[in-house]
Amino acid sequence: MTVYESDLPGVGKKHEIDLDDGSRLVVVTHNTGKREVFRRASEDADSEKLFELSDQLARQVGTILEGAYFQPVRTGNIETLLGGNTVLEWVDVAADSPLAGATLGETNVRQETGATILAVQRGEETIVNPGGETVVEAGDTLLAVGPREACRSFASFVRDE
C-alpha cells in the first residue's frame, strides 16, 4: 500500500492511498478537523466526493477501522502503532512455543526482547498486567508493548524463530 501525503496551505493535509483496484482514496483533513473523503478512479481522473465527517466522528470511525473495538480475523501477529516507534502487538502462543507451560518470570521476556507484556487473553478471560507468576498456556494471546524492534523480537521469541 502506498500513501502520498501533501500539505494544503491554509486548508490542512491531503492523503492519497492506492487501492487494490487501481483507484485512489483521497482524504483531506482540514485544520478544523473536518475530513472529506474522495475516490479517484485513476491517477489522472477527477475525484468524486464520497462523504464528509466531523473531527469527532472521523476519530470514532478511525478506531473502528483500526480494529480497536473488533478484530474479525485472528492472526498470529497483529500490530498497532501507538506513536513514534512504539507499538502494541498481539501474538498467539502455539503448543510448541517455548513459553507454553512456563511462568512469565521464567521466560525473561522483557530482558530477552525489550517488550513488556500488558495482558494475557485466555479464552473469554483477560489477565491484565500479569505478574511473573502467571503461567503462559498454549492458545493464549499475549499483548505486548514496546519499540517496534522489541515487539518483533518478542514475536520471534514466542514462536521460537
Under a CB-based contact definition with an 8 Å cutoff, are residues 23 and 17 in contact?
A: no
- 128: burial class by Cβ within 10 Å (0-12, 13-18, 19+)? exposed
Give 86-110 as a DSSP string.
EEEEEEE--TT-TTTTSBHHHHTHH
> What residue spans define the domains of the chain?
3-66, 77-159
> Whole-model pTM?
0.52
Specify the residue for cell string 466531523.
Answer: 54
The pairing of strands 24-30 and 12-18 is antiparallel
Q: Which residues pair with residue 128 across a beta bridge?
A: 119
Per CATH, is 77-159 categorized as 3.40.920.10? Answer: no
pLDDT in tens, the chain (161 residues): 688 899 999 999 999 999 989 899 999 999 999 999 999 998 788 999 999 999 999 888 888 777 666 655 554 445 555 666 788 888 899 999 999 999 999 999 899 999 999 999 998 899 999 999 999 999 999 999 988 888 889 989 998 76
